[in-house]
């Protein structure tokens, strides 16, 4: 059996090696390393794939979120609502810009923003909502957009984990994750569903004015060369990474299918195990399984992970500590234990199994057998 990894980028690369190598070498030969034709080309391809008007590359997903907030003109003291059950980047850039992060709890089944608890948090200072499409499944974008419209708020989608996922509105409209809010942000970190071979990110929008503003912010606040209208940053997607992404974008739907097949296998293997709660699939969004994350009921999580590791099966906890209880973020709302019960419960119960495009049936059988064996005490 092939060695099991959380993510297997090597086997994936081997299948597209000749195309990748050729495109990368072409960039090197051309020396168009910064903002070259490959960047323009990929931005257009991704815009077509997502069905958005503008895609602007940047250096990583964290920058994408920061740039989005800068481009929308958010000012120190403004409040931004997001979740506590996520990767730190979302909230980190809110705080870095002098904005105030306001947390909302998540839904027990989907792990996404609980829209029923959203409206009560809105104050005259609230300017934006940042839903995170966690683990590959869209938050309830219909409800979020309705609330945002009613209160005149921006919606910035953190789409770092859900590129390629779709959301179906009650009127039948289907849109790609990241194309629904005012701005969408993604990361091309190697292990993401569309990953490059280093760091990369992108910002998407249908709004021409916001797009122009984003283009200026990522380029030192410059519209005309050496004239700086506002404070910006330096955040670029390298041409070499764009070339790699262009090859991989063509595979993205196949990659998603492979992840879903692996997820179906896990679901089926665990369906009758009452100590394991398999990930809820929201009927309005197709789940692209950036992670396969289960909830454990009355199982010693540390021991289970130790057991799996002893059989050379990696397993991870995304995420062990909620952001509202992290040292760096408690001060923002004088948050304390008990403030977000679902988030806190999930941090204690979740665990993630290997999930990537190259898992084969032999590996999946080996993993699921080991998990079930541990739980049944075999
Ligand atoms: C990966 C990730 C980010 C940050 O992306 P980087 O490219 O690592 O900066 C932000 N938000 C979420 C939800 C992520 O998963």
What tens digit of pLDDT does each residue of 61-78 get?
999 999 999 999 999 999
Q: pLDDT confidence of 141, banded at 50, 70, 90?
A: very high
Ligand 1 atom with the smallest distance to the CA of 290 is 15
**Percentage of the chain exceeding pLDDT 70:** 100
Q: Which of 140-144, 243-247, 283-287 has the lowest mean pLDDT?
A: 283-287
Asked if pLDDT for residue 2 goes beyond 80, the answer is: yes
pLDDT tens-digit readout, 108-125: 999 999 999 999 999 999
Give residue 333's pLDDT.
83
234 secondary structure, DSSP code: B
Return d(Cα 156, Cα 161) in angstroms, integer.
14
Angle between helices 252-270 and 361-376 (to 10 degrees): 30
Over the chain, what is the mean pLDDT? 97
pLDDT tens-digit readout, 178-211: 999 999 999 999 999 999 999 999 999 999 999 9
Asked if pLDDT for residue 350 goes beyond 90, the answer is: yes
Residue nearest to atom 12 of ligand 1 (CA): 160
Count the alpha carbons within 13 Å of 146 in the hemisphere toward its beta carbon: 10
Q: Which of 323, 320, 319 is nearest to 335 (CA)?
A: 323
For residue 202, give the H/E element and its range: strand 201-205
Return d(Cα 325, Cα 345) in angstroms, integer.
13
Residue 136 Cβ < 6 Å to ligand 1: no
Q: What are the beta bridge partners of residue 267?
A: none
Q: Which residue in the block uniquely carries the two structure tokens 């084969």?
A: 360
Contact 197, 203 (CB under 8 A): no
Return d(Cα 298, Cα 168) in angstroms, integer.
35
Encoding tokens for residue 58? 């940047």
Return d(Cα 167, Cα 173) in angstroms, integer.
8
Residue 86 Cβ < 6 Å to ligand 1: yes
Asked if pLDDT for residue 332 goes beyond 90, the answer is: no
Mean pLDDT in residue range 313-329: 95
Return d(Cα 106, Cα 43) in angstroms, integer.
32
Residue 89 Cβ < 6 Å to ligand 1: yes
178 secondary structure, DSSP code: T
Classify the C-alpha dihedral 316-203-147-332 as positive or negative.
positive
Give residue 101's pLDDT.
96
pLDDT tens-digit readout, 144-188: 999 999 999 999 999 999 999 999 999 999 999 999 999 999 999
Give residue 373's pLDDT.
96
Distance from the alpha carbon of residue 176 to the mean position of ligand 1, in angstroms:
18
Return d(Cα 298, Cα 140) in angstroms, integer.
29
Q: Which residue in the block uniquely carries the two structure tokens 């992670």?
A: 291
Residue nearest to atom 14 of ligand 1 (CA): 160
Residue nearest to atom 6 of ligand 1 (CA): 61
Q: How far apart are the first and last CA of the chain?
A: 22
Return d(Cα 289, Cα 257) in angstroms, integer.
10
Q: pLDDT confidence of 277, banded at 50, 70, 90?
A: very high
Give residue 331's pLDDT.
81
> Which of 189, 233, 236, 290 to mutate for ligand 1's pocket (most ligand atoms within 8 Å of CB)?
189
Asked if pLDDT for residue 378 goes beyond 80, the answer is: no
Give residue 87's pLDDT.
97
Find the angle CA(70)-CA(72)-CA(76) to the nearest 5 degrees.
Answer: 55
Ligand 1 atom with the smallest distance to the CA of 133 is 13
Give residue 201's pLDDT.
98
Give residue 217's pLDDT.
97
What separation in angstroms does the CA of 138 have from each of 5, 159, 180, 185?
26, 8, 10, 13
Residue 357 Cβ < 6 Å to ligand 1: no
Helix, coil or strand: residue 134: helix
Mean pLDDT in residue range 361-367: 98
List of residues 6+ apart from 30 with CB closer than 8 A:
36, 37
Contact 217, 70 (CB under 8 A): yes
Return d(Cα 194, Cα 187) in angstroms, integer.
8
Q: Which residue in the block uniquely carries the two structure tokens 């839904």?
A: 107
Q: Which residue in the block uniquely carries the two structure tokens 């990474």?
A: 241
Residue 323 Cβ < 6 Å to ligand 1: no
Q: Which of 155, 168, 180 is nearest to 52 (CA)?
A: 180
Q: Which of 38-47, 125-134, 369-378 has the lowest mean pLDDT?
A: 369-378
pLDDT tens-digit readout, 214-245: 999 999 999 888 999 889 999 999 999 999 99
**Percentage of the chain exceeding pLDDT 90:** 96
Residue 193 Cβ < 6 Å to ligand 1: no
Distance from the alpha carbon of residue 190 to the mean position of ligand 1, in angstroms:
11
Give residue 248's pLDDT.
98
> Which of 57, 87, 288 to mutate for ligand 1's pocket (most ligand atoms within 8 Å of CB)?
87
Give this prediction's pTM. 0.97
pLDDT tens-digit readout, 15-28: 999 999 999 999 99
Helix ranges (DSSP H) in the chain: 9-30, 37-50, 61-71, 89-96, 141-151, 208-217, 239-249, 252-270, 301-310, 341-349, 361-376
- Domains defined along the chain, listed by start: 9-104+111-249 (3.40.640.10), 252-376 (3.90.1150.10)
Ligand 1 atom with the smallest distance to the CA of 192 is 1
> Which of 161, 193, 197, 241 to mutate for ligand 1's pocket (most ligand atoms within 8 Å of CB)?
161
Distance from the alpha carbon of residue 50 to the mean position of ligand 1, in angstroms:
19
């Amino acid at each position: 059996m092939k060695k099991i990894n959380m993510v297997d980028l090597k086997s994936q690369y081997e299948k597209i090696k000749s195309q990748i190598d050729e495109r990368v070498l072409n960039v090197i030969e051309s020396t168009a390393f910064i903002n070259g034709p490959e960047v323009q080309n990929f931005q257009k391809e991704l815009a077509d794939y997502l069905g958005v008007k503008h895609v602007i590359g940047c250096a990583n997903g964290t920058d994408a979120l920061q740039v989005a907030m800068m481009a929308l003109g958010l000012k120190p003291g403004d409040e931004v609502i997001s979740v506590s059950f996520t990767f730190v980047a979302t909230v980190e850039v809110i705080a870095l810009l002098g904005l105030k992060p306001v947390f909302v709890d998540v839904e027990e089944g989907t792990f996404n923003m609980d829209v029923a608890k959203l409206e009560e948090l809105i104050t005259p200072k609230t300017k934006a909502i940042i839903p995170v499409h966690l683990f590959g499944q869209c938050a309830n974008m219909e409800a979020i957009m309705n609330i945002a419209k009613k209160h005149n708020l921006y919606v910035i989608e953190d789409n770092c984990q859900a590129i390629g996922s779709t959301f179906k509105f009650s009127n039948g409209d289907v849109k790609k994750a990241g194309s629904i809010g005012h701005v969408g942000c993604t990361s091309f970190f190697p292990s993401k569903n569309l990953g490059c071979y280093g760091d990369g990110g992108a910002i998407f929008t249908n709004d021409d004015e916001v797009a122009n503003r984003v283009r200026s912010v990522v380029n030192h606040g410059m519209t005309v060369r050496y004239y700086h209208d506002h404070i910006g940053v330096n955040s670029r997607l390298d041409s070499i990474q764009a070339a790699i992404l262009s090859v991989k974008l063509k595979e993205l739907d196949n990659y998603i299918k492979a992840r879903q097949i692996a997820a179906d296998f896990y679901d089926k293997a665990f369906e009758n195990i009452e100590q394991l709660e398999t990930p809820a699939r929201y009927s309005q969004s197709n789940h692209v399984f950036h992670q396969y994350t289960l909830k454990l009921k009355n199982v010693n999580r540390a021991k289970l992970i130790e057991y799996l590791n002893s059989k050379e099966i990696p397993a991870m906890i995304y995420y062990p500590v909620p952001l509202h209880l992290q040292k760096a973020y408690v001060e923002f709302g004088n948050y304390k234990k008990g403030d977000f019960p679902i988030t806190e419960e999930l941090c204690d119960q979740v665990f993630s199994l290997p999930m990537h495009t190259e898992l084969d049936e032999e590996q999946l059988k080996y993993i699921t057998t080991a998990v079930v064996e541990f739980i049944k005490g075999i």
